[in-house]
Structure 1
Amino acid sequence: MDTDRLPGCYRHPDRDTGIRCTRCERPICPECMISASVGFQCPDCVREGSGTGRGGPAAHAPRTLAGAPVAADPHLVTKILIGINAALFLVGLLVPPLVVQLELLGRYVEYLGGPVGGVSTGQYYRLLTSVFLHAEWWHIAGNMLALWVIGGPLEAALGRLRYLAVYLLSGLGASALVYLLTAPNTQTLGASGAVFGLLGATVVLVRRLRYEMRPVITMVVLMLVLTFVPLGGSLSVSWQAHIGGLVTGLLLGLGMVGPRAGKTRPLIQWTTCLAVFVLAAALVVVRTAELT
């Protein structure tokens, strides 16, 4: 018996195929493939999603791979995030002192004898506000291009709310590791940690869909090379943010697309988000105790 043979299509058993429906995971041949927001679906799942199957429209509303409702604009959150980053970049150019008040700083003094500020003094909002700030035009241009290329397809696969949770928690995880491992007066800002989180979740998604892994692994390696190989310029790269975001995104990706469809899937997804938040909070508490 040939154990390496591909499975046969569930409707045409004599046709071997390596493609599976992204909803029910049954093998489907090219004749049965129907394009979905991510991957392909079988005719039965498409028929159920359109409300013509058993249970009606309410029971079989179209869903993403992660179980979220399919949105009319699957890239809306990505567009909004890019808009927020661009708006804050322009505000920062007009009001430079505002950047100092929002960037990631563990502990600093604006002037000799002045008040002490930073995350260690209770300014925890810096852990997230810093994710939406950028120092140079090429800094924001690179991050927003990566956000569009990586974030768009991931949003279509996860759905809006789950995608936003991955983005924000990846940014938080990146900031928490920066806060833990760098000098307290180190200025850090940028969306690259959150983008690395989206990349980590994308690795899990591609694996889950059984797509070719080499392109996404190549992208990860290339971005890590750019992280650790200095290219010059006035802005240094925070490897702590990139590694923190990547690891956070991998964990969240496992929680979001790992569970199979069922009643427990949302519980697993949001419990994973809570666990990641608690872990990031724990790192912040540990570092704050060291600085106070």
Structure 2
Amino acid sequence: MHCYRHPDVETGIRCTRCEKPICPDCMVSASVGFQCPDCVRGGSGTGHAPDANQPRTLAGGRVAADGRLVTKILIAVNLALFLAVQVAGDRFTDELVMIGFAYNPVLGEVVGVADGEWYRLLTSAFLHQDVAHFVFNMLGLWIIGGIVEPELGRIRYAALCLLSGLSGSALVYLLDAPNQASLGASGIVYGLIGSWVVLARRRRYDMRPVLLFVAISLVLTFARPGVSWEAHIGGLVAGAVLTYALVHAPRARRALVQYGACGLLLLIDLGMVLGRTVALT
């Protein structure tokens, strides 16, 4: 049998009221067995889950009318900073770009994450100077974000984007030259690519076009000069690992597993940053 709401997901469970097949993501615990969301919503059952009438995403988040709201906000932030860079110039960029530890002759001072400017780990993930770079990243954010956000829900999707961007910057900080500046939303975009792979596998979609897209993206990462491959790989791995935890968390302990996965990833990033800072200072 296949779930009546998710035709690509096999199941052996039926709703105790209407007997429609339901997958684990659609099951609502009842006094006897499980019921489907339609029966609970229609008042024909006795489900005991809070907010049972509210449809849920694959990761347990609430289904929103606008499945791209967070994506739109992220693009708006990137656009605002891009316009600020065009108006204010290099001085504005120098304050926000990702850099480990260096002397800046423009500012006349030592700058970088190792000097206590940890905010650069995130601000650099929303910063662009080149028009082509900005357009490419925003297209990726819009297209792939439009796939991922409805599957995770707004809060989990926002956490995924921020942690993917942070993980990309942390790996740049750990492996790149301390005076090498980098910027761009590529860490977030590649985090979404990693998330898309996990979601496609979870939904049992044909993985061949997805894996082909990932392979082409990685080839472009290492073939083009001047590309921060560390940000791409850091974001890709973080996005895939975090999404796996979000969509495979046991229903009974879903919140605990999901919060724990986010916290663990944040601790790993923090460990990389602290280790590199000690080495540089």
What TM-score do you get using the length of structure 2 for normalisation? Answer: 0.86
Q: 1:220 to 1:53 in 2, by over 3 A?
A: farther
Give deviations 1:188-207, integer Å, cap 9, x for gaps.
00001111011111111111
Q: CA deviation at 1:210?
A: 1.1
Q: Please say if 1:83 is aligned against 2:76.
A: yes
Q: CA deviation at 1:54?
A: 2.2
Q: Please say if 1:178 is aligned against 2:172.
A: yes
Q: CA deviation at 1:61?
A: 1.7
Q: 1:134 to 1:190 in 2, by over 3 A?
A: same
- Which of 149, 152, 166 does residue 155 from structure 1 map onto? 149
Q: 1:141 to 1:9 in 2, by over 3 A?
A: closer
Question: Identical aligned pairs, as a percentage?
Answer: 47
- Which of 234, 239, 252 does residue 242 from structure 2 map onto? 252
1:20·1:26 contact (CA, 8 Å) conserved in 2? no
Query: Where do 1:111-126 residues align within 5 Å?
Result: 111=105, 114-126=108-120
Q: Unaligned stretches of 5+ in structure 1?
A: 1-7, 12-16
What amino acid is aligned across from residue 47 of structure 1 in structure 2?
D
What SS does the corresponding residue of 2:99 show, helix, strand or coil?
Answer: coil
Q: CA deviation at 1:60?
A: 3.5
Query: Where do 1:206-245 residues align within 5 Å?
Result: 206-230=200-224, 236-245=226-235
Q: Unaligned stretches of 5+ in structure 2?
A: 15-19, 28-34
Q: CA deviation at 1:251?
A: 1.1
Give deviations 1:73-123, integer Å, cap 9, x for gaps.
111000110111011100011011111100001112122993211100100
What is the distance in 1 between the residues matched to 2:106 and 2:7?
A: 66
- Which of 44, 62, 66 does residue 69 from structure 1 map onto? 62
What is the distance in 2 between the residues matched to 1:173 and 1:40?
A: 32
- Which of 36, 44, 52 does residue 45 from structure 1 map onto? 36
What amino acid is aligned across from residue 175 of structure 1 in structure 2?
S
Q: 1:72 to 1:116 in 2, by over 3 A?
A: same
What is the distance in 2 between the residues matched to 1:288 and 1:154?
A: 34
What is the distance in 2 between the residues matched to 1:50 and 1:237?
A: 50
2:37·2:53 contact (CA, 8 Å) conserved in 1? no
2:96·2:123 contact (CA, 8 Å) conserved in 1? yes
What amino acid is aligned across from residue 45 of structure 1 in structure 2?
C
What TM-score do you get using the length of structure 1 for normalisation? Answer: 0.83
Give deviations 1:48-77, integer Å, cap 9, x for gaps.
463434247833321111111111111100
What SS does the corresponding residue of 2:251 show, helix, strand or coil?
Answer: coil
What amino acid is aligned across from residue 63 of structure 1 in structure 2?
R
Q: Please say if 1:103 is aligned against 2:97.
A: yes
- Which of 248, 261, 264 does residue 251 from structure 2 map onto? 261
- Which of 79, 93, 102 does residue 86 from structure 2 map onto? 93
What SS does the corresponding residue of 1:135 show, helix, strand or coil?
Answer: coil
What SS does the corresponding residue of 1:58 show, helix, strand or coil?
Answer: coil
What amino acid is aligned across from residue 152 of structure 2 in structure 1?
L
1:20·1:40 contact (CA, 8 Å) conserved in 2? no
1:49·1:62 contact (CA, 8 Å) conserved in 2? no
**Residue 129 (structure 2) aligns with:** 135
What amino acid is aligned across from residue 157 of structure 2 in structure 1?
Y
What is the distance in 1 between the residues matched to 2:75 and 2:12?
A: 34
What is the distance in 1 between the residues matched to 2:12 and 2:212?
A: 27
**Residue 270 (structure 1) aligns with:** 259
Q: CA deviation at 1:33?
A: 9.8
Q: 1:153 to 1:55 in 2, by over 3 A?
A: farther
What is the distance in 1 between the residues matched to 2:179 and 2:212?
A: 34
Q: 1:157 to 1:48 in 2, by over 3 A?
A: farther
